Amino acid sequence: MILKTSNLKYKYQNGKTINFPDVGLNPGDKVLINGVSGSGKTTFLNLIAGAIKIQDGDIELASSQYSLMSSSDLDKIRANHIGYVFQTLNLIPFLSVLENIALGVKFSKTRSANIDSIDQEAVRLVESLGLDKSILNNSVNNLSIGQQQRVAVARALLGKPNLILADEPTSALDVDSKNRFLKELVQTFDPSSQAILMVSHDLSLAPYFDTVIDFGKANV
Amino acid sequence: MASMVLLLSIERIQQATEQGFNQSISGVDAIVGPRSSSLEVVLYTVFHLGRPTNNITMQTVDDIRTRDDIDWLVPIALGDSHKGFRVIATEPNYFKHVKYAGDKPLLMSNGRAFKEISEAVVGADVAKKLDYKVGSDIYITHGSSDAIGKKHDDFSFKVSGILNKTGTPIDQAVFVDLKGYELIHIGWQSGKKIFGLDRLDVSSIPKEDLTPKTVTAAFVGLKSQLTLFSFARELRQYHKEAISAVIPGVALSELWSIVGMVDKGFELLSWIIITISLISMITLIISSIENRKREMTIYRANGATPLYLASLVVFEAILIALSAIIGAVIFVTIITHLASSQLNIALGITPEFQWVSLEEIKVFAIILIAGVLSSLIPAAIVFKKSLHQGLS
């Protein structure tokens, strides 16, 4: 199993508490978390990414238990095992497309060891995501939102991290771009070693996933 | 960067000017002149700045020349000019005894020192600017400027030698023989020409009659430097005339102590500006943190630790400080290059500026360390934010 969450509970500063459903992901799983704004979808991703500390319950990723780990250990877990795609503004504007993609393995020896050459792997990923390899040396400012999201996916997939976390990555895309983006994401990830966990309020994306968890219903 | 340019420019120009002044005269133990401010005597005899207010008699010069402690003595007479350049009337042994920049002798790039009363030696800048060569004829103007003086147009000097470039006021001087100088002033009274030399048979005038009655000052070399202060003391007590012996090094030290106070004020001002610049840099970095929140989040999402992000801020501060230092060095080099030509025009000295001095490296190190220390504040803010902020 890649990811397993159990009895996760998070209390915000305003006193609001969210109980998260237990989630388990095996290689090849594609899970969509659906829910309205404020249902805790992004907080759930932050907890799994180790960006915020768990308060109650536990998370197990790649056989490591978060409750036993320091924040620097969680940074390592994130670097080695998680690829993260944001809603928008995924790329650093002063870096080239290739440099942005290479960030995916910059902080992880484990992910670096999974690939022979960053350049070759970047070419493979951008092409399988429907982009031309010539964009690799371009400035990211010249890319459309759809192209930027695909570059962000290439970065998240580089070095084959076990878990791809995506936070509303299609919310800024039109219907055609959204469908194309998801189709290419599902085709490009490696089901033998990777799993996808995406949060979105858009239920029309459900056909691309094996499981849909509705936080709106699950939360107390 | 501007504050560093100010600090370094002041420092470099001050040091180079001091060095230029100090190198302008060497080998001269004392300057004997009319009793006056020692600085004034040095400024008009060595740097040709200002005007001599009084002269000393040749009788006094001869009395000093015969003293046992004197090794050599060279009288000089100032007052006339040639196309804006000062004329120094002296004896041929001036070129033997007066040195510059430590112990460098005055050498001719062309020709030789004057031997005849109608010969002249010109400094390197004079020759270059007026395109003079050995054999060129020159006329001297009575007084320090062509605009106010009348030309001694009845007697010309022939250039017998051109001095090597020295980077001192010597480059901008015309040297003539004292006797020749006396000759062209025959027929002049109170700055006015009463009759011209054309009325006289110059060749029939005995050379000993051309010995001037007065000179402006005399450069003196002593047999032993140990007698310098007793020599100066005894000359103050000379009863026939009010004279004094000025020690050039001491007079220049007086000058630098006056200039030094102004310089310290500028230096303090520069450090205040540098401190303000560093505070501005911290404020700028802190305000940019909010704008760069997204960039930091992307780094965090890819596994960057809070320490890495904090170190990025410190690295950035180092980069800003280094850029400022490099920029300052380039600017200061341009400024000092311009200053060099201005100092040459104004003071006759050609200071040599170092590329980067040890003192400047110390200043750079202080600024760099201060920059790094200042960046620790925004770095700590980034570190703290990264620990507690999610990836949204």
Helix (H, G, I), strand (E, B) or coil at A213: strand
Residue A219 pLDDT > 60, yes or no? no
| Phi, psi values for residue A193, rounded to 5° | -135, -10
Question: How confident is the model over B42-60, as pLDDT tens digits?
Answer: 888 888 888 777 889 999 9
Dihedral class, residue B225 (left if φ above 0, else alpha if ψ from -120 to 50, else beta): alpha
Q: Indicate the burial class of B71 (C-beta count within 10 angstroms; 0-12, 13-18, 19 or more).
A: exposed
Residue B291 pLDDT > 80, yes or no? no
Question: How confident is the model over B261-274, as pLDDT tens digits?
Answer: 777 777 787 788 77
The verdict on a CB contact (< 8 Å) between A84 and B301 is yes
The verdict on a CB contact (< 8 Å) between A51 and B301 is yes
Separation of first and last alpha carbons in chain A: 27
The verdict on a CB contact (< 8 Å) between B297 and A49 is no
Question: How confident is the model over A113-165, as pLDDT tens digits?
Answer: 999 999 999 999 999 888 999 999 999 988 988 899 889 999 999 999 999 99
pLDDT value at residue A217: 58
Q: How far is A83 from chain B (nearest CA, A)?
A: 7
Residue type, A121: E
What percent of chain A stands above pLDDT 70? 98
Residue A82 pLDDT > 90, yes or no? yes
In total, how many domains does chain A have? Answer: 1
Task: Find the mean pLDDT for residues B278-301.
Answer: 81
Distance CA A169, CA A146 (A): 10
Q: How far is B288 from chain A (nearest CA, A)?
A: 15
String of DSSP letters for B224-241: -GGGHHHHHHHHHT-SSS
Angle at A53 between CA A73 and CA B294, to 5 degrees: 85
Closest CA to B106 of B17, B28, B206, B196: B28
Closest CA to A110 of A68, A85, A82, A152: A82
pLDDT value at residue A220: 38
Q: Do B381 and B335 meet the contact criterion of CB atoms below 8 Å apart?
A: no
Residue B23 pLDDT > 90, yes or no? no
Quote the tokens at residue B209.
Answer: 């009659």
Question: How confident is the model over B315-367, as pLDDT tens digits?
Answer: 988 888 888 888 888 888 888 778 777 776 666 666 666 677 787 888 888 88
Residue A218 pLDDT > 60, yes or no? no
Q: Could you tell me the residue range of the domain that residue A64 belongs to? A: 3-218
Q: What is the CATH number of the domain that holds A187?
A: 3.40.50.300
Dihedral class, residue A9 (left if φ above 0, else alpha if ψ from -120 to 50, else beta): beta
Residue B180 pLDDT > 70, yes or no? yes
Distance CA A190, CA A164 (A): 11
Q: At B66, is the pLDDT very low, low, confident or very high (cuts 50, 70, 90)?
A: very high
Residue type, A117: S
Distance CA B314, CA B369 (A): 11
Task: Give the best residue of A99, A103, A112 to mutate against chain B (max B CB count within 10 A).
Answer: A103
CA within 13 Å, CB half, A106: 18
Residue type, A162: N
List Cα–Cα distances, B145 to B49, B105, B136, B185, in angstroms.
13, 29, 21, 16
Residue of B20 and A103 predicted with greater confidence: A103
Residue of B134 and B359 predicted with greater confidence: B134
pLDDT value at residue B91: 92
Residue B390 pLDDT > 50, yes or no? yes
The closest CB to that of A51, out of B294, B298, B390, belongs to B390
Q: Do B181 and B141 meet the contact criterion of CB atoms below 8 Å apart?
A: no
- So where are chain B's domains? 25-253, 264-388
The Cβ of residue B195 has, within 10 Å, a number of other Cβ atoms equal to 12
0.90 exceeded by pTM: no
To which H or E segment does residue A3 belong? Answer: strand A3-11
The closest CB to that of A104, out of B295, B302, B308, belongs to B302
Mean pLDDT of chain B: 83
The closest CB to that of B305, out of A45, A52, A72, belongs to A72
| Site of tokens 């907080």 | A43
Residue B75 pLDDT > 90, yes or no? yes
Q: At B175, is the pLDDT very low, low, confident or very high (cuts 50, 70, 90)?
A: very high
**What are B's interface residues with A at a Cβ cutoff of 8 A?**
294-295, 297-306, 308, 387-392
The closest CB to that of B301, out of A49, A76, A80, belongs to A49
Helix (H, G, I), strand (E, B) or coil at A44: helix
The verdict on a CB contact (< 8 Å) between B297 and A43 is no
**Cα dihedral sign for B54, B55, B61, B63?**
negative
Residue A193 pLDDT > 80, yes or no? yes
List Cα–Cα distances, A172 to A200, B252, B392, in angstroms.
12, 76, 15
